[in-house]
Structure 1
Amino acid sequence: MTMQTTPLLLSTLMERAARIAPDEEIVTLGANSKHRQSYGDTRARACQLANALSRHGIEVGDRVATFMWNGYRHLEAYHAIPSMGAVLHTLNIRLGADDLDYIINHAHDRVILIDADLLPALEQVAGRMKCVELIVVCGEDEPWQTTLPNTVDYEDFISGEATDYAWPSIDENSPLGLCYTSGTTGKPKGAMYTHRSTYLHTMAAAQTDVMSLSATDALCGIVPMFHAMGWGMPFAANMVGCKQVMPHRFMMPEKILDLLDEEEVTMSAGVPTIWQGARAAITQEPGRWKLDKLSRLTCGGSAPPLEMLRWYWDELNVEMIQGWGMTET
């Protein structure tokens, strides 16, 4: 007899937040206001999305892509798509038309979820995405329009679907996520993440000597959720049940600092250019942002200047944690 043979599946991690912290907030910055919803609501909407995708014909192993900013609907996709056994393919919104065309067809994406303001980028490859059957558009306050065929509004797509889903028990070595890297010669290469590898990475990332993430934190992931699965932070936050704060497309230093301050963020993550911009804004307007809850920042993507690390510690008493990794590792 062997003890503890439960497969390491993402669905168990993503379900945990709704179980232990159903009322904790997911906050997404918008053009005119912030969108707030609980982990309990996020789980229910993720189940609706999974049911809608199943109704469309998505099965275990199928690729479903996202072309989205960091936001509550992207988190719902992070929950629903891998948990139902499909593969979450996070498309880089900054890629050119030729790379997008190649990657979408190489991955054989059947469905794409897209934020409405990004539609013009995808319209560049209209007619070239031979494998794509449906495009689900995540609109905001304003009505959206597109020349792309086979589109449906996200809210219409999930409306009326059941708010529960029987997540399948699959092999823990089954693929969970797919990211393409252009950091090689030739065409972009796809790197596949499994349930097991992501589960172990999530547990490691939250450890004391890494991010030291707990249920009492408020985490703001500025690193894009399409970049190496957002460094695993959406998964780690769900595992511990902490508040999540997302900037969506509003990446200006002042907007980010307002968000960190107003939502009492304790930890955030981004590339060095983000923190250099934030530092410049703070220096130009001393006293505008208190940031008295912020205790640590994770920095990666390129080497942060030592002088910048020292400034954050000396001026704000904020520890900057330097990370390293590649899409394929």
Structure 2
Amino acid sequence: MTNHYVGRFAPSPSGDLHFGSLIAALGSFLQARSNHGNWLVRIEDIDPPREVAGAAARILNTLEYYGLHWDGEVLYQSQRSDAYKQVLHDLYQRDLCYYCHCSRTQIQHSGGIYDRHCRNLNLPPEEASTRLRLLQPVYSFEDRHLGKLCADSAFASEDFIIHRKDGLFAYNLAVVIDDHFQGMTEIVRGADLIEPTVRQIALYRLLGWHEPDYFHLPLALSPDGNKLSKQNHARPLPLDNPLPILAKAIAFLGQSLPESWQDASLEALLTWAVKHWDSTRVPKQPALTLHFPFSNGAV
């Protein structure tokens, strides 16, 4: 790594941060800080129907309360529409995307993978989604933590949606544009986002941009085997005593803790964690079950 390392944490404001979110935030923070790099925060607020009022502000407050202070200004995807429109326009001018009128029901009836039905029909934009004309699919990539990861070939080669029929920009489009815009050198995130990585790399290459490195962290599972997520109603991180929760997150990532960490300040614990961060000790399993109880109800 060089001193030009740039990493990020990019939550969606669909709910408050929980322990699983903390793992992604902390892992990316420690990787960036240990490489003397910048750690940025981006709020991915491009899907209003899924957003929870006030969640963005609470996410930022929680990060600060847990000592995870970011560099620069927070980027909000809701303010980036012009950039997304410009890339969509450029792709269309280069005949690298097209309008699709197929419904989800139609695609499910044909096996769940889009069959490129509209690819050469030159359909109008009204009531249409926009799909990438994927000419050179990416079937595998080298994860800096997990090694070579291979994707399902049908998924990897699908002409995926980059602009939705309801007028919203698709995640894969926005995340690539913003990661490139912010100069990301490495994306550290949860293993639940391994699958779309091949699509994002394909889009990077199609746009002529150099893709960042990827490092996927294990997911935190509740004792009943479900991923800790907003959809599964994982409890928000408590704000009354962050030190033991942060210590458990450090341990979850395979890192050791200093002696008498209970007596340390939050800042001192994070400083120690940055200094002793060893990414090779992060578990390589895609998910880990939490066996320790949270007395304050964080899980």
What TM-score do the two structures reach when normalised by structure 2?
0.27
Higher relative contact order (CA 8 A, sep 6+): 2
Structure ranking higher in strand proportion: 1
What TM-score do the two structures reach when normalised by structure 1?
0.25
